[in-house]
């Protein structure tokens, strides 16, 4: 199905679908509502929640992927976060870590900042990733397509980028209740 057709899902439903498919893979989750929703849906020590650094999830995920080449590493990112760190797409494309899966949840707004429009309405992040050198790039909207493409990427050499068009709907979720030092320490232990 074409990404412009079909029913979009909320970020929380997309995150639920993705986290239901991971086992022991490290997952780095961008700041804002994505981290908060992921914590509510499926907290696990292998999740690294960004609690304040916008645009850095992919860079941290790249570092983990290079350090742990035998493990698939998943980054759950937002369109606003990717736009803040576009240079990371080029670095990933140049280094080509085979174990790197970059999921971009694109609602075309800065959701955590009050839903101001982002430039992903104009800048097609999937096309930017392809131009930067990502090996596998897909764009989806429907939950079934998300599940199919993510499972496929778990079994392929990357780097891979899955752009997921989502609604602006936000869940009523509290802040991640863990301090950053605790998030980092339990993550380090989980991926050793």
pLDDT at residue 3, rounded to an integer: 43
pTM: 0.93
Picking from 25, 65, 62, the residue whose alpha carbon sits closest to that of residue 47 is 25
pLDDT at residue 80, rounded to an integer: 92
pLDDT at residue 115, rounded to an integer: 64
Tell me the C-alpha distance between 144 and 26, whole Å.
23
Which pLDDT tens digits describe the chain residue by residue (192 residues)?
A: 444 555 678 999 999 999 999 999 999 999 999 999 999 999 999 999 998 889 999 999 999 999 999 999 999 999 999 999 999 999 999 999 999 999 999 998 776 666 677 889 899 999 999 999 999 999 999 999 999 999 999 999 999 999 999 988 777 888 999 999 999 999 999 999
CB within 8 Å of 17: residues ≥ 6 apart: 9, 143, 146, 147, 150
**What angle, rounded to 10 degrees, do the helices at 143-154 and 11-19 form?**
40
Tell me the C-alpha distance between 27 and 75, whole Å.
6
Q: Which two tokens stand for residue 172?
A: 């009523």
C-alpha torsion sign, points 148, 37, 167, 83: negative
pLDDT at residue 1, rounded to an integer: 40
C-alpha torsion sign, points 120, 103, 45, 72: negative
pLDDT at residue 2, rounded to an integer: 44
pLDDT at residue 5, rounded to an integer: 56
Q: What are phi and psi of 8, to 5 degrees?
A: -80, 155
Which CATH number is 11-191's, of 3.40.50.300, 3.30.43.10, 3.20.20.150, 3.40.50.970? 3.40.50.970
Is residue 69 exposed (0-12), middle (13-18) or buried (19+ Cβ within 10 Å)?
exposed
Tell me the C-alpha distance between 138 and 3, whole Å.
9
CB within 8 Å of 100: residues ≥ 6 apart: 61, 62, 65, 73, 75, 92, 158, 159, 160
């Amino acid at each position: 199905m074409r990404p412009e057709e079909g029913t979009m899902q909320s970020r929380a439903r997309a995150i639920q679908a993705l986290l239901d498919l991971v086992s022991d893979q490290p997952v780095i989750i961008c700041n804002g509502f994505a981290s908060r929703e992921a914590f509510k849906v499926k907290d696990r020590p292998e999740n690294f929640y960004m609690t304040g650094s916008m645009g850095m999830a992919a860079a941290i995920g790249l570092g983990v992927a290079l350090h742990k080449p035998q493990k698939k590493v998943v980054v759950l990112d937002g369109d606003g976060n990717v736009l803040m760190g576009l240079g990371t797409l080029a670095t990933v494309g140049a280094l080509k870590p085979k174990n790197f899966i970059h999921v971009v949840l694109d609602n075309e707004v800065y959701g955590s900042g009050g839903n101001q429009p982002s430039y992903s309405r104009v800048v097609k992040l999937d096309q930017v990733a392809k131009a930067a050198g990502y090996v596998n790039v897909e764009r989806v909207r429907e939950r079934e397509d998300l599940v199919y493409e993510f499972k496929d990427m778990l079994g392929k050499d990357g780097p891979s980028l899955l752009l997921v068009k989502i609604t602006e709907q936000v869940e009523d979720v509290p802040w991640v209740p863990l301090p950053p030092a605790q998030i980092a320490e339990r993550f380090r232990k989980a991926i050793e």
